[in-house]
Structure 1
């Protein structure tokens, strides 16, 4: 198999994308990780294309970076319509090519090609197929250079591991190799330093045991003008065999009446340990009046955009604005906040508990909907804390039976207690900041659920009612 990743690569031109265009217009919007839900794809442009397995092989394998173009978004506000052009999101695709699909690959079908260089062949999502997945691991193991793709490794990789695609609900794609490694393949990609690689590497240098150190990664040179740095496409890290994520464990609490406060407290300690290591590894800054004012303006802008996207939120907008303005008023009085690098999208599902009981933290990509530069900025640690507080609330509302509000409140309190024990600072001592951060997170959730999971919209709306009508929590 090694010859497939070390030989010179045949350039793959726009004709391939033209061949795939009508199929991708139908297939891409149906994918869980497609960001442009609700608007049609009007066309594609090719960023990069690389042949990883030749067309005469079984299967053929192409790696594509394609930009999906969509109509501009339109918002109506203050009696005027505002049009926001859509620059086109760049997606990473692994396209398998066969004459016909065996039954085991039926769920992976993209479609049958009728024009161009792939005429008469069947295309599919290649990660369902062991051979393409093995090809990616071999490229990482050998440190291959294929076209624009760069496969880098930090430590040795065991060869000949059997791959399996994880098919649960994810915003990216993950492949487990044996019980040794897990590959996270980023789907919507942007050029530049990705925190999902940057922060675990920084934590590894600090010797932080809470975050598995990256084993290897894939990048692609950015040929587009005005780009900053390569695309980070995938990260390989150790697989925590037998680990269970915090979301799955937490759901047993309200559903089965189990106490989860000891685990919540341990999660708080783990979060504080990671925050402390990040503050040692990377620069911190102090946010004064002007910086906090800018932060509040960002929260306000996100709220206004959310009201446009989900009009039911409008009834709560004045009270939510007051939450943000309370933080701005403190800043005028001289209040300051230390900002540092944080996880950026912290929730119960980002934690894994090993069979021995230790908690690890994964997925440092941040909220993919936010610009990369924003995700890499120092932020108050309260943003991560707020994400966890919201996650306990989600678990209370998602488990079978009526919402377990007392369970959620007990977990939230235990989490903050654990954080204070390991970090030396209780987030509840800054209630205005924490209230604003939790509100901002709930507003984000309203938009997310309305777009992707409308049946769950009631969960963040319940929090919005509480955050708009109560004091800091």
Structure 2
């Protein structure tokens, strides 16, 4: 292997062109990479290279392991007689990252800055279910999220977690370290919640229990989720209150509200061009988005989660915790920081309850199972809103025009997402639109 990391990674250019499009976090999945260059590369430790790679204008963070024997992680290519591979799958190399954070070191222009005193000597293991990033867990203490597509500060995930921690929020995990260069935020570490269960998994387990007992109602099944939905609603409302206390609120006038409606129409235009099956719902969607224009001045906005759904919440023994405050993945970083209505988060969670209920049904499922799925969705959506109102002092359903528009806008996004990534699932948001 070349003694210079930059040269080593550049020699892998052809291999990286083939390897990058196969990764879950690659933006244009399956697309051919035409123009690839190595922005920078540094040796973090023997056998561990950190690289920032520009592929057709998008910058990706890649950690490359180098060893002589066949590695555990996916092979990228060969460097002489050695193998170059995806280092995040190598527990031994990932353990190095904890040492870098704990010591507050700078290697090759990458700063590893602790915000608390860190315990070292912990075993590292990757979490393999993420779509956009890669996270490494250290023992039962910390979790480090590596942003695969890093962008310039301020990083929304980091800043909102810090703001919530400052005001004493118990609905987020404590920040413990940040990884960055002079112009990019590369990673963010927090306390690891070892006792946590993912919201999506617990919700879909409840749906599965109900469908297995097809002659019972949702409130009669042992896995009834309504109580948790109410507690989750209260937790989301508390996060909104804490964000308002930490970062403030503002009231927007008609021009901003009209701009929001225009954005919804624009997103609909784009998805209609790609998914003709959406066309039958266009009149209903246009009417709902136009109704937003008639709202009076005085819509309150603030920082919100921005991409809230059941996969972004964890149930711990102490209550619900929200994670991943990066914002809407499809939005440019500069727009993610724009204050939005808290009802956007509510709408995202309401759509997620509907998804949890209906994704377990096939296209040929009988009327009884469909009735039970609808009942589960309605029950948990209502419980969530009631829980939210218990903290916020106002029920989200008291703003029907805006909430409906946000829900439908989210469903349009879901149609586009499923069309690109899981074509078999397009039926779920399309069916929701038919029921709207």
2:247 to 260, 282, 307: 282
How far apart, in 2, do the equivalents of 1:465 and 1:288 lie?
32
How far apart, in 1, do the equivalents of 2:199 and 2:207 lie?
14
| Other-structure match for 1:4 | none
Moved more, 200-209 or 312-321: 312-321
TM-fit CA distance, 1:372: 0.7
Structure 2 residue 23 is matched with structure 1 residue 31: yes
Structure 2 residue 218 is matched with structure 1 residue 252: no
Aligned residues: CA RMSD: 1.6
TM-fit CA distance, 1:342: 0.3
TM-fit CA distance, 1:100: 2.4
| Other-structure match for 1:121 | 82
| Other-structure match for 1:352 | 314
Kept in 2: contact 1:215–1:237 (CA 8 A)? yes
Count the aligned residue pairs.
414
Structure 2 residue 76 is matched with structure 1 residue 89: no
1:434 to 394, 399, 403: 403
How far apart, in 2, do the equivalents of 1:466 and 1:457 lie?
15
Query: What is the DSSP-based 3-state SS (H/G/I as helix, E as strand, rest coil) of the residue aligned with 1:160?
Result: coil
How far apart, in 2, do the equivalents of 1:451 and 1:100 lie?
37
Could you list the runs of 5+ residues in structure 2 that have no partner in the other structure? 211-222
| Other-structure match for 1:372 | 333
Moved more, 93-102 or 261-270: 93-102
Query: What is the DSSP-based 3-state SS (H/G/I as helix, E as strand, rest coil) of the residue aligned with 1:187?
Result: strand
TM-fit CA distance, 1:397: 1.2
| Other-structure match for 1:65 | 52
Residues 1:96 and 1:38: Cα distance change in structure 2 (over 3 Å): closer
Kept in 2: contact 1:19–1:119 (CA 8 A)? no
Kept in 2: contact 1:99–1:121 (CA 8 A)? yes
TM-fit CA distance, 1:466: 2.7
Kept in 2: contact 1:386–1:441 (CA 8 A)? yes
TM-fit CA distance, 1:295: 0.9
TM-fit CA distance, 1:464: 2.3
| Other-structure match for 1:323 | 288
Structure 2 residue 8 is matched with structure 1 residue 16: yes
Residues 1:308 and 1:256: Cα distance change in structure 2 (over 3 Å): same
Kept in 2: contact 1:48–1:148 (CA 8 A)? no
| Other-structure match for 1:411 | 380
How far apart, in 2, do the equivalents of 1:188 and 1:364 lie?
15
1:163 to 94, 114, 124: 124
How far apart, in 1, do the equivalents of 2:164 and 2:353 lie?
26
Structure 2 residue 186 is matched with structure 1 residue 217: no
Structure 2 residue 176 is matched with structure 1 residue 184: no
TM-fit CA distance, 1:455: 1.9
- TM normalised by structure 1 equals 0.85
TM-fit CA distance, 1:336: 2.4
Residues 1:435 and 1:25: Cα distance change in structure 2 (over 3 Å): same
Query: What is the DSSP-based 3-state SS (H/G/I as helix, E as strand, rest coil) of the residue aligned with 2:70?
Result: coil
Kept in 2: contact 1:287–1:339 (CA 8 A)? yes
Query: What is the DSSP-based 3-state SS (H/G/I as helix, E as strand, rest coil) of the residue aligned with 1:186?
Result: strand
TM-fit CA distance, 1:192: 2.2
Kept in 2: contact 1:345–1:387 (CA 8 A)? yes
1:132 to 93, 97, 107: 93
1:205 to 162, 166, 191: 166
TM-fit CA distance, 1:357: 4.8
1:397 to 332, 348, 358: 358
Task: Give CA-to-partner distance per residue, 1:104-161, whole Å, 9 cap, x none.
Answer: x0xx223332xxxx33321111011122211111110000111221111110110100
- TM normalised by structure 2 equals 0.92
TM-fit CA distance, 1:428: 0.5
TM-fit CA distance, 1:202: 0.2
How far apart, in 2, do the equivalents of 1:327 and 1:415 lie?
23
How far apart, in 2, do the equivalents of 1:136 and 1:153 lie?
12
Task: Give CA-to-partner distance per residue, 1:225-261, whole Å, 9 cap, x none.
Answer: xxxxxx1111111111121011111011111023111
| Other-structure match for 1:361 | 322
Query: What is the DSSP-based 3-state SS (H/G/I as helix, E as strand, rest coil) of the residue aligned with 1:93?
Result: strand
TM-fit CA distance, 1:11: 6.1
Kept in 2: contact 1:24–1:110 (CA 8 A)? no
Residues 1:11 and 1:202: Cα distance change in structure 2 (over 3 Å): farther
How far apart, in 2, do the equivalents of 1:388 and 1:405 lie?
16
1:256-271 equivalences under 5 Å are 256-257=209-210, 258-271=223-236
How far apart, in 1, do the equivalents of 2:197 and 2:291 lie?
39
TM-fit CA distance, 1:67: 1.4
